[in-house]
Amino acid sequence: MRIDNERKVIYLSQILKFDKKHFDAFAGGALPFIKRYLNASERNIVETGGLKIDYLGYDWSANDSKYAR
């Protein structure tokens, strides 16, 4: 997770996008879910609102079985 305060964008893990329906059902969405893990300053930025959500790149090779031991 990364917040770009100048651009008013919060960058989240792709996992929150891939499983959007689960995070929506479980916690009311990605932002309510992650808020519990943020420090006070980050939480304040998120609660102030106006942030656009974008997603960080995902390294699919991390799931590649050829790298399994």
> Which of 47, 50, 58 lies closest to 12 in space, CA to CA?
58
In one-letter notation, the amino acid at residue 67 is: Y
What pLDDT digit, counting tens, does each position of 11-21 carry?
Answer: 999 999 999 99
Give the separation between CA 55 and CA 12, rounded to whole angstroms.
Answer: 5
What pLDDT digit, counting tens, does each position of 23-46 carry?
Answer: 999 899 999 999 999 999 999 999
Whole-prediction pTM: 0.77
Confidence of residue 68 (pLDDT cuts 50, 70, 90): low
3-state secondary structure of 20: helix
> Which of 33, 36, 30, 37 lies closest to 54 in space, CA to CA?
30
| Domain boundaries of the chain, sorted by first residue | 2-58
Confidence of residue 64 (pLDDT cuts 50, 70, 90): confident
